[in-house]
Structure formats: structure tokens, C-alpha cells
Amino acid sequence: MKTAIITGGGQGIGRVTTQYLLTHGYRVAIWEADTDALTELRESFKASAAQILFVSCDVSSEVNVRKAVEQTMAHFGQIDALINNAAIMIEKSLDKFMLDEWNRVISTNLTGPFLCAKHTAPYLAMQKGCIINICSTRAFQSEPDTFAYSASKGGLLALTHSLAVSLGPDVRVNAISPGWIDVSALKKKAKAKSDELRPEDHSQHPAGRVGQADDIARMILFLIAPENSFITGQNFVVDGGMTRKMIYV
């Protein structure tokens, strides 16, 4: 049975992907910094406890990442896939955006995937495994006041092809760039709410709807499948065609 690590697996895309991985026969190590989310997830997945390892981990800390790798190897004995999903966003105008806030976003969203890749790479190579970096369409387009998030995702896109060239052929590395994915109801209880999506929200997507976390989970399953071993160094935009549509107001 293969083992996948998913960072930030307690909420949103990570939480849904965890369910997909379990359903498709993977053992899953969930690395999550939010202790409330981790506790709630542990309760939700009681029935699958034998297939899951819950790890409290801040991916911006190399000490944390080293320990998380050790725990995962001790528990499962192998690592076949790393899904770098953990990310945070701080939205503020440029004059109010503080350096420590910039550093916190970059540390989680970009340094975190680097550290996770660095410390799992030897074990992934043993299994001819793969890394999936959850990037974003914000790597190449922006809304106002998302400086650090957009910069971190642009860096993650570049890190993806750098890792693919450096770790190949033993480890494949790809990125997925989600567009508008509605995860409002998939957060921990204190923050979960279902956003009321308007017809115009859906209609600005050529696919006719706003995305769901399942759309990303299915792409992850596709990319980690061994039969897709010729795909590496690539970025897959999953956005319902939104970034291809010219909008005039």
C-alpha cells in the first residue's frame, strides 16, 4: 500500500484530498499546523484510523519538518507521494503590509514546500515517487493586495520545474494551479460557512461553475498515478477556463 503526505490536510482542498487518497487505497500522513483542525479531522476519520497518521507540523520550521518525516517513516516505513498543500494568505495594502507578515507567508507557502521536498526526497527516490505542489492561478494574475501570496505561488511554480530537473528521474515533480475553488464549508468549525455563490460567479467560468475541492483532488490522483510517469516539471491549471476568458466591464 502506498503512502502519501499531505501538508495542510486539515481543511479545504487538503481535507477533501485526504478522503480521496484513502478511498483509493493510500495510507495518508496529514501534516497540519492548526491544532483545532487536526483534532476535528481526527474525529472525522475515526473509521480510517489504521490508514492515517496525524502529525502536528509547521512546514516553515525545518526542525518540525525533520520530525514529521521521522514520524511518517517510523509509522508507515515508506513515502510515495508528497503533496505540498499548506498555505496562508494575508491581504493588506502595500503601506500596511509588514515585513514579518511577508516573511510568514513566504515561509509557509514557499520555504515550506522546499523543506518538505528536501527532507522527503531520499525516501521518495526509493519508491520512484512524486511531489505535487499546489500552486495557484495567482502565480500569473492578481487581485489587489495579495503581494506575498502571489509572490510565493510564483516562486513555487519555479521551484516545481527546478525540483523536477534536479530530482529526476527518480522523483517526478508537478504543480497544480487551482482557480476559484469554493472551500468555504470545508474549514474548521469555527470558520466554516457556506458562501452563497451568485449566477454571475458561475457564469464567468467557461465551464459554467465555480470549482470544488474535488476537482483538485481528482487531478492529484491523476498525477500521482504510476502510469503517468512521463509527466514531470509541468503546471496544470484547473480553473474552469477562467484565466482564458477576457472580461470587459
CATH of the domain at 184: 3.40.50.720
Q: 104 falls in which pLDDT band (50, 70, 90)?
A: very high
The domain total for the chain is: 1
Closest C-alpha among 21, 28, 4 to residue 214: 21
Q: What is the mean pLDDT of residues 86-107?
A: 97
- Domain span holding position 161: 3-244
Nearest partner of 135 among 173, 93, 165, judged by Cα? 173
Q: Which three cell numbers stand for residue 197?
A: 455563490
* CA 117 to chain CA mean position, Å: 13
In a domain? residue 85: yes
Q: What angle do CA 70, 223, 177 make, to 5 degrees?
A: 95
pLDDT tens readout for residues 113-127: 999 999 999 999 999
Instruction: Please count the helices (runs of H) and the strands (runs of E) in the chain.
Output: 8, 9
Task: Output the average pLDDT for the chain.
Answer: 93
* 249, part of any domain: no
Q: What is the mean pLDDT of residues 69-83?
A: 98
List the catalytic residues. 149
Residue 49 pLDDT: 81
Q: What is the DSSP letter of 93?
A: -
